[in-house]
Amino acid sequence: MNFRTLLFLFILIPITFFGILLILLLHLFDPTGNGFYKIAAWWGRLSARLFRITIEVIGQENYSPDLHYLVISNHSGMADIPLLLGIMKLNLRFMAKEELGRIPLFGRALRQAGYVMIKRGQNRDALNSLIDATTVLKQGHSLHIFPEGTRSATGELLPFKRGAFRVAMKGGAPVLPVTIIGSHLITPKKSLKINQGKIMVIIDKPIDPSSFSTIEALMAACSEVITTNFNHYSRGYICR
C-alpha cells in the first residue's frame, strides 16, 4: 500500500459510489444505458490524472466513434479498464467477471449499462454469456473483451482463447485490436500498490471477421497484430 492506494480508498471509491448512484438515477430516464458511458469515461480520465498516469495513444485515427466494434486487447493491470474507458471514443461496454455483478449497486449499474457478466468455464452459463455478448454487438453497441481471459503478472502476452472470436464471427462487427504496454507496472498483480507511470495504447486498424473462414484463423490474425505491436513498441517503452 502507498499514497496512491490511499487516494484510491478515500477519494476515488467515494466518487465512484456517488457516480453509481447517479447512473442508477439516470437509468430511470434513459434505460438504454448510454448515459453510463459518459460518466465512466470521465471517471477513467479522472483516475489517470489522480494517479499521475501518462497515456500515449497511437492510432486514434484507425476507428470511427460513429461505428461500433468488438474491441480486444491484452490485459496486464487493473488500470486497463478505466484507462480504456477514458481514451476510447466509443460508447463502450465490457465483458466482466460475474463476481463484479454480485457487488451491491455496482453490479446492478453494470448490468443496466449493458455490460456482460461472464462465468468462466465451458458450462451453459458461459455459453449464455457469449450469446449476450453477441446481442450487444447486433444492437449496434461496441463491446470490449480481454481474449487472454486473465491478467498477465509480467506484462507479457498470454495465449488468446476462442470465446472473443466466436462472438466476433457471430456478432458481425469489425474487430478493433488494441495493445496495452506498461499497465502491469501501474497496478501490479497481487499487490495493493498503485504506481504512477506511463502507459502506451496502440489502436490498430479494424479487422473484418467475414474475411476469415474459421474462428481460429480470425484469432491468429488478431493475435499477430497485437503481438507485432507489443514487440515493436515495447522496445522503446520506458515507465517513468
How far, in Å, CA of 70 to CA of 29, rounded?
27
How far, in Å, CA of 121 to CA of 143, rounded?
20
145 falls within a domain: yes
Regarding beta strands 92-97 and 116-118, do their DSSP bridges make them parallel or antiparallel, or are they unpaired? parallel
How far, in Å, CA of 124 to CA of 161, rounded?
17
How far, in Å, CA of 70 to CA of 137, rounded?
7
220 falls within a domain: yes
Contact 189, 171 (CB under 8 A): no
Q: Can you read off the three cell numbers belonging to residue 80? A: 486497463
48 falls within a domain: yes
**Which residue carries 461472464 as its cell?**
118
55 falls within a domain: yes
202 falls within a domain: yes
Measured between its terminal Cα atoms, the distance across the chain in Å is: 19
What pLDDT does residue 127 have? Answer: 72
Which is nearest to 205 in space by CA: 188, 240, 229?
229
130 falls within a domain: yes
Residue 19 has φ and ψ, to the nearest 5°, of -65, -40
pTM of the entire structure?
0.91
How far, in Å, CA of 185 to CA of 206, rounded?
28
How far, in Å, CA of 198 to CA of 53, rounded?
6
How far, in Å, CA of 166 to CA of 1, rounded?
39
240 falls within a domain: no
Per-residue pLDDT at 118 exceeds 90: no
> What is the pLDDT of the chain when averaged over all its residues?
89
Q: Which domain holds residue 107?
A: 3-234
Q: How confident is the model at residue 122 (pLDDT cuts 50, 70, 90)?
A: low
Q: What is the pLDDT of residues 186-235, one digit of tens each?
A: 988 778 788 999 999 999 999 999 999 999 999 999 999 999 999 999 98
Q: What is the pLDDT of residues 139-170, one digit of tens each?
A: 999 999 999 988 898 889 999 999 999 999 99
- How many domains is the chain built from? 1
The most distant pair of C-alpha atoms in the chain lies apart, rounded to whole Å, by 51
239 falls within a domain: no
Span 111-120, average pLDDT: 83
What pLDDT does residue 239 have? Answer: 45
CA angle 77, 75, 66 (to 5 degrees): 110
CATH classification at residue 222: 3.40.1130.10
Q: Can you read off the three cell numbers belonging to residue 110? A: 453494470
How far, in Å, CA of 130 to CA of 169, rounded?
11
- More confident position, 240 or 203: 203
